[in-house]
Structure 1
Amino acid sequence: MATMTAHDDMSRDKSSEPEQNGPFRELVRRRRAELNQSLDQFAAAAVDPVSGEHVKRGWIHRLETGQPVTPPEVRQLRALAAACRLPLEQLQDAAGSQFHGVDPLISGSTEAKAYVHKLDRLPADQRERLLRLIDTLVPPEE
């Protein structure tokens, strides 16, 4: 009969593994659906404009189906941002939340946090119009 050490218990602790279901997974799944792209089309567009690195179809499939994936690095996030046609920061926030438990609003003012949480309740077309309005008032950072 084998004895189990504390280390063995730790290796089986699901809380030590990256979260497979969360805001990053949902963002990528939702955005691919909104773009009406097949997995192959989406993966072909997932190219980092800086390094040229591609995110493979299989990784995207595993992410979308909730299977274990290695958390993405900035190169992969830039590639997925290109495929999603979204700002890099949006993917960074979702990935940080899902894989590292980081609240992207933690450093914002309470007023800013309240606004952002309300944005999630707006339809996509209204969020887009509001973002365009904000961009006229405060140009996006380069």
Structure 2
Amino acid sequence: MFIDRMAMMSERDDTRTHLSDLVRHRRADLRLSLRGVEEHSGNLGPDGRPIIKRGWLDRLEKGEPVIPPQLPELRALADVLSVSLGRLQDAAGAQFLGIDSVWSQSGEARALVEHAERMTPEQREQLARLLATFDGSSREP
């Protein structure tokens, strides 16, 4: 069954702009032009061509209909904008699929998970043992 993705985008609820806002604000923070994003080394595919095109990015930031980004595009954006892939996935899920990720009201749980993902297995094990001391549980390595 063929699905017209552009038609789907024109029918979506345009009030959700999570990814658009995140990308627009982050690009502004970095003072990075549309061309700068397109030409960034983190945005080049194996063939040397940009993964994120200027036109698509411009439409995304303006809230115009776009084809939702897939994992390669989100990875390129994460690299170019120095934003975690998880944060971009959450924003894309919210904007294009209506998925709202809930971590904690303070955002601390998400920050801890993102930090833990950068730890070595040994560091994670040490952290797990430390956390186990707070609730009295024991965890075998």
One-letter code of the match for 2:43? V
Contact 1:48 1:78 in 2 (8 A): no
Structure 1 residue aligned with 2:83: 86
Map 1:70-81 to 2 at 5 A.
70-81=67-78
- TM-score w.r.t. length of structure 2: 0.63
Tell me if 1:30 matches 2:30: no
Gaps of 5+ in 2: 1-6, 121-141
Return structure 1 stretches of 4+ with deviation > 2 angstroms: 16-21, 48-53, 138-142
TM-score (norm 1): 0.63
2:100 and 2:118 map into 1 onto residues whose CA distance is 22
Shift of residue 97 of structure 1?
0.4
CA distance in 2, matches of 1:114, 1:32: 26
Residue 55 of structure 1 aligns to a residue whose secondary structure is coil
Match of 2:98 among 97, 101, 112: 101
Which ranges of structure 1 fall in alignment gaps of 5 or more residues?
1-10, 120-130
Q: 1:20 to 1:78 in 2, by over 3 A?
A: farther
Q: How far, CA to CA, are the matches of 1:88 and 1:60 in structure 2?
A: 17
Q: % of aligned pairs identical? A: 35
> For residues 130-141 of structure 1, what are the structure 2 equivalents within 5 Å?
135=115, 138=116, 140=118
